[in-house]
Amino acid sequence: MKPNRRLSAVCPGSTRGWSTRYADVRALLADPRVSVDVAEPGFPHTNAVSKARDAQMKTLMQMDAPEHTVHRRRLTADFMVKKMEVLRPTIQRIVDGLIDDLLAGPNPADLVEAFALPVPSLVICELLGVPYADRAFFQRVAGELVMDEGDPAKAMAASEKLNSYLENRVEEKNAEPGDDVFSRLTVEQYRTGAMTRAEIATMGQLLLVAGHDTTANMIALGTAALLTNSEQLRALRDGADPALVAGAVEELLRYLSITHTEARRVAAADLEIGGQLIRRGEGIIAVKSTANRDLAAFPDPDVLDVHRNARHHVAFGYGAHQCLGQPLARVELQVVFGTLFRRIPTLALAVPPQDLTFNPNAVFYGVRDLPVTW
**156-183 pLDDT, tens digit each:** 788 888 889 999 999 999 999 999 999 9
Instruction: Measure the CA–CA gap between 314 and 301, rounded to whole angstroms.
Output: 14
Instruction: Measure the CA–CA gap between 328 and 277, rounded to whole angstroms.
Output: 37
Share of the chain above pLDDT 70, in %: 90
Give CA separation, 101 vs 66, 118, 220, 367, in Å. 47, 11, 17, 21
Residues whose CB is less than 8 angstroms from the CB of residue 26 and which lie 6 or more positions away in sequence, other chains included: 291, 314, 318, 319
- Look at residue 89 and tell me whether its pLDDT is greater than 70: yes
What is the rounded average pLDDT of the residues 348-370? 89
For residue 19, what pLDDT band results from cuts at 50, 70 and 90?
A: low
- Look at residue 146 and tell me whether its pLDDT is greater than 70: no
pLDDT of residue 45: 81
What is the rounded average pLDDT of the residues 73-100? 95
- Look at residue 44 and tell me whether its pLDDT is greater than 60: yes
pLDDT of residue 7: 35
Beta bridge partners of 34: 267
- Look at residue 11 and tell me whether its pLDDT is greater than 60: no
Instruction: Measure the CA–CA gap between 56 and 53, rounded to whole angstroms.
Output: 5
Instruction: Measure the CA–CA gap between 278 and 267, rounded to whole angstroms.
Output: 7
**Domains plus CATH for the chain?**
13-367 (1.10.630.10)
Chain-centroid distance, C-alpha 33: 25
- pTM comes to 0.91
pLDDT of residue 350: 98
Burial class of residue 302 (count of CB atoms within 10 Å of its CB; 0-12, 13-18, 19+): exposed
Instruction: State which of 13-27, 41-55, 276-290, 309-323 shows the largest mean pLDDT.
Output: 309-323
Share of the chain above pLDDT 90, in %: 68
Give yes or no for a contact between 372 and 348, defined as CB atoms under 8 angstroms apart: yes
pLDDT of residue 18: 56
CB atoms within 10 A of CB 20: 29
For the segment 310-355, what is each residue's pLDDT rounded down to a tens digit? 999 999 999 999 999 999 999 999 999 999 999 999 999 999 999 9
Residue 224, amino acid: A
Give CA separation, 261 vs 71, 195, 308, 362, in Å. 23, 29, 26, 8
- Look at residue 2 and tell me whether its pLDDT is greater than 60: no
Q: How high does pLDDT run on average in the chain?
A: 88
Helix (H) or strand (E) holding 349: strand 348-349
